[in-house]
A and B are shown apart, each in its own frame.
Chain A
Amino acid sequence: MKITPAITEAVARLKDLSVVAHREVEQVLPAILPHGEAVTLQWLAACTALFSFERDAGKAFIRGSLEAEKVSETVLPWTEQALAFMQWRASWRALEGFMANVARAYGSLGHAGEARWAKLGFVWCARQIESGAAYFSTPVLDLAGRHGGITAIEQLATPADELYESRKLMLATYLPGAIRVRNLLGAQAILPWASRGADIMQSGRARGEAYFRLESEESLSLLLEHLPGYRLTDRNRLLGMLLDVWFGGEFELKESAWSPEKGRPFIETDGKSIYFPAVMADREEAILALLHTAGHMYYRTFSRAAMQEMFAEAKIEFPQKGAVSWAPLFMRFGDDALRFQLIFDLCEDLRIDFRVQDNVPNYLKRMCNAAHGLGVRHPESQGYYELALESVEAALAHRAGAPADPRFAPLFAEDATVATAYRVAGTLYEKSKLTPVTDLEAFYAAYLPGRSPNATRMAHPQESDDEQDQSQPGAEQNSQQQDEGGEETEAPQNAESGEEQGDGDQKEMPSYGDSSGQSARASSQGDKEGANHGSSDKGIPYPEWDYRESRYKRNWSWVQEKRLAESNMGETVRLMKQYAVALKRLKKAIQSQKPTRTAPLTQQLDGDDMDLNAVVSYVAEKRAGQSPRPNIYKRREIRQREVAVTLLADMSTSIMQHLPEGGGRLVDRVRAGVLLFAESMEEVGDAYSIAGFCSKYRDNVSYYMLKDFDETLSEDIRAQIGGMSGRLATRMGAAIRHATASFEGVESRRRLLLLLSDGRPEDYDDGGDRRYLHEDTRMAVKEAVAKGVHPFCITVDTMANQYLPQIFGPGHYLVLDHINSLPNKLPEIYLRLRR
C-alpha cells in the first residue's frame, strides 16, 4: 500500500500541530497503512483529534497503536474506543491505561472479550474518571486472574456496580484490594468483603481506604476468617497440648505476621518461640509442621555450639552476642544461594525428622503419606521435593532396619547436629544436578508438608551447659529441657511490670463508663470501713511466715480493706450483652440442679407430710420396745445455706496484659468471669462475697471488697466489677488471711475460698526470693483449712503446675489453659466444687 496524497496531507496537518506527534506517527504508520487508505485516514484523524483534545492522550494513543494493531490485526474497533474517551474530561490517564492494555486484552480475551472489557471500563469512566483510569491501567491479566477470562472481570465488576448503586463506592478504591481478595478467596468473597469496606468507608475515609488496601487489621482478619484451610489461631490450645504431650516442654507459641499474600504458610521457629500462621492448608500439614518445628527446638537446630561449629567451617565469624543470621552461610554461593539453602534445609530437616520419630510414633510414616498426598508441585523445584521425599523414605527404611542411604547416613547418627547437616549439604550440593531455583513460589513449594525454611528468622542460639547430654536420647533430656524452658519464661512478671508502673496505678484505669457518684460512695464506704473493723489507717495486721527462720513475724503484713473507687457500668452492660447466651445457659444448668437443694427435708419433728421411711422405722422401733424420737415428718423448704464462698481475684498489674491469642486483655476476661460468677450465684442462692487484692510492700496490702456476704448484688456492685483493673503486685498470703477472717460470722457448714490468679505470689519487697512468699502463702492456706475454709486456686498461668501444688496441695487448684474460657468456667467450677 502506498502513501496516498490524502494521507500525506493528513500527516502534514499533524506535523503542524506537533513535531513530536508527527515523529511518533511516522513510526507507527507503516503498520497501519496495509489496512487501506480509509482506515489509515480515520486513524490519523483520531490521532489529530486526541492530540488536540489532550496532548498526553494523543501521545498515548499513537504509542499504543503499534502493539494494538499487531495483536488485533484491526485498527478501527480500538480507534473508535479510544475516541470515546474524548467525552470525559481529564481522561488522558484512562486512555493511557487503555492503550497500554488493549493489546493484551485482544490477546487474552479475544475480540468479543476486548469489547466487553472496554465497555465495562466506559461505564466507570462515566461515573468517575479516576475509577475508569484505575480500571484501564490495571493489567488485563490481573483483572482476569490466573484462569479467568472476561467472566472473571465481570465477576469483579458486578459487586462494584452494586456497591456504587447502593453506597457510592468508587472502583478506584475498591479494585486493587478486590483483585487480591478474589485471587485469595474466590469471586464469591468479594461482595461481603467490599460491603463491609463500604460501611467502614462511610464512617471514616482514611480507615476505609486502609481497609481496601488490605492494610487495616479488620480487613486482614476478615480475610483470614474466610480463608479456606485449617485455622490455627482457633486451635492454639490444641497445639499447646500436643507440644506438651509429645515434647513435654513449655514452648512459647506465637502467631506469626503471615498474611495470605506472603505465599505458602509455614510454622517457623527462631530457637526461642514457635510461630504459627493463622491458616494452613489442612490439619495434617499443620500438625506435622508443629511437630517438626518443635523438633527443631527439641533437637536443637539453633544450639550455640553447633552453630559455632558450622560457622567456623564456613569460615564466617560467629557473632558473640544476640541473634544470629544464617544469611552469610548462603551468601557464599552467590546466585546459587537458594539452591544451597534448599539442600541444607533438606538435610537439617531430615536430621530433625529422624529424631522426632523418637518422640512421636509413626511420625516419619505420616510425613511420607502427607508428602505423597500433595498433588501440585512446582515444576521448577520438583526435583528438590522429590529428593526430600526420597530422603524421608530412606529414614523410614533405616528405622525399619535397612542400611542407611550413604548420602544421608551421617544425619541419622545420634550425635549429629546442625553442623553435620551443613557438611552433608555441602557434599550433596557438589554432587547434585538439581536445577537452580529463582522463583520464590517455587522455592516455597520445594518443602515437604510440615517443613519450612529454617533461616527465615534471626536464630536465637540455644544455650546449654552440657551439649553432650542434649544429644543423647532419654528421660533426662526431657526433664532438662523442661527446666530450661521454665527458666526462660519464668520472669517475675507481676512485680516487675508493677515496678514500671510505680505509684501511677490509677493511670491505667479505663474510664469510658459512667463514673458519677464515685467519690460520694468512696467517702461513705470509708466511714463504714472504720466502723466495721475498728482499725487504724494502717489497716489490719496479719502475721507472715518466714521460712528462713521457721517462725511467724507478728503483725507483719497490713491489709487495708477498701471499696473499689472505679466503676464502669458501660463495660458491665457490654459484658452482660456479650455473655448473655452463656449466662442463660448457666442459669438453666443451675435451675436443673436446684431440686437437690430444695429437696424435701426428711425426718423433721414437724412438717406438712409424713416421711414414710421415718414412720416405718418409728413404728418398728416403737414395737421393738424403744422410744424413738417422733421425727416422722417431711417439709419442703429451702435448706439452710450450706456453702459460703468468697471469690478473691488477683488484681495485680499482670492482669492488664494483652492476651496472647488477641481479643483484648486478661482483665476483660476477669471482669466477665466475676460478673458471670455473681449472676450465677444469685441463681444458686449460696452466700457469697467478691473481693480483689493487690499489694505494694508488706504494709500496703489492698483488699477491695466488691460485694460482702450480706450485700445484695446491686447495680453499683455490677458497675464496680466492670471497673476492675490491675495494679501493683500479689501478696497472696495476706489476702488469704484477710479473706479467711471475713468468713467469721458467716453461717455455713462449708466455706470455700476461690482464688482467681494469673501468677505466683510476689511483691516488691520479697527481695527476689520467690520462696518467701510461696512459703507464706502455703502457710496461709494451711491456716485457712484449720479455720474450716477451703482455699481453691484457679489460675490462668500455664506455668502454675510448678508452684501451685506446693502451695495449695494437689487437687486444690486448676490451671485454665484457655483464658477465653475463664468467664464460662468460673461459675462452672464453683458448681462442681460445691457438689
Chain B
Amino acid sequence: MNVTSASPAVGPRPATGPEYAPERDPGGGAAGPPLSRLSDADLDTLLMIRHFELAVLELFSQGKLHGTTHTCLGQEYIPVALYPLLGDGDYVFSNHRGHGHYLARFQDPHGLLAEIMGRDGAVCHGVGGSQHIYRDRYLSTGVQGQSLPVAVGVGLHLKRAEPGRIAVVHIGDGTWGEGAVYEALNMAGLWQVPVLVVVEHNGIAQSTPTERQMAGTVAARAAAFGVGHLRIDSVDVTDVRAALTPVVGQVRDRHQPYVVECVTHRVGPHSKGDDTRPPEVRERAARHDWYRRYRHHHPGQFAAADRAQAEAVAAVVREVGARPASRWEAR
C-alpha cells in the first residue's frame, strides 16, 4: 500500500503489497469452519479497520509516526460484532489497543489518523494520541485495568439517571493481573451495576503467553464475584453478535455486570516490530485470522470490498498526511 503522507492526493490507486499476493494455497491456510456471509456494511468496517492498522504500521516503518501504537490485527471482528447492539447513550471504555473500537463506533478514520499523526482535525488535537481518546461517550486510556472502576462509577450514574444504558469496557487477558479489575468486579456485582466487560483474550500479554501470567481462568474469576461469564470462541461476526445479543440485553435490562471472554488471535505484533513469538505460533494465529478465512470462503465479495477499503484508507493517509500540525489550545 502506498502511504506516502506528504504527497498530494492523486486519486485512487490499486493497493499493492504482500496482502494482495495471489493465493498460492487453494485452502488459504485458513483454520476452522466457513465464516458466514456478512452484510457489505459489516465487511466494509472490518476491512477499513484492517487496512487502517496496516497503514499505521507502514507509516511507522517509514518513520512518519511519532511514539508508539498497538494495532488490533485479528481482533477487528469484536467491536464490529458488538457495536450495532449499542446506542449513542452507552459508554465504551477502550484500552491501548483501541483503533478498531473507535473506528467501529464512529467510522472516522480521518479523525483517528490525524490524532495518531498529530495533524489538524485530530479527535483530541494530538494531545492524547493512539491510546488516549475521548469523544462523546467513548474514552480510551493507557493504564491497564484503570477504566474498570471508572466504568463502575459511570454505570452507577447510568443505572440511576439513565436506566437501560450500559458501560462497556474492553480489556485483554493481561489486564487480569491488575488489582483494579477485582475491586471493580466486586463493586459491580455488589451494587448490580450495568457494566459489560469484554475480554479480548488473545493468549498473549505483550510478550508473555497467558499460561505464564494467569493462574486459573477468567471464567472462575468472574464466578467468584457472582458475575455472569460467557466464552465466545468464534471469529464469525454473525455468531459473535448472536451470542452477545442476549448478554447485552441482560446487562441493559437487569442492571447486571457480565464478563464476555472472546477467544481471539493477535495476528500482528504487540506494538511495532516486537513480535517475539516463534514462527509456528504466529502462523497458528494467522490461520485463525478472519481476514484470511473470509477471503477463502467469500472470494467474490471479499476482493471488491478489500480493494475498495484499501484504496479508501490509502486516500485517508494521503489526505491526512498533507494536513498541517494539530494545535493544543485548551490547556
- Say whether A associates with B: no
Which residues of B are in contact with A by a Cβ distance under 8 Å? Answer: none
Interfacial residues, chain A to chain B (CB-CB below 8 A): none
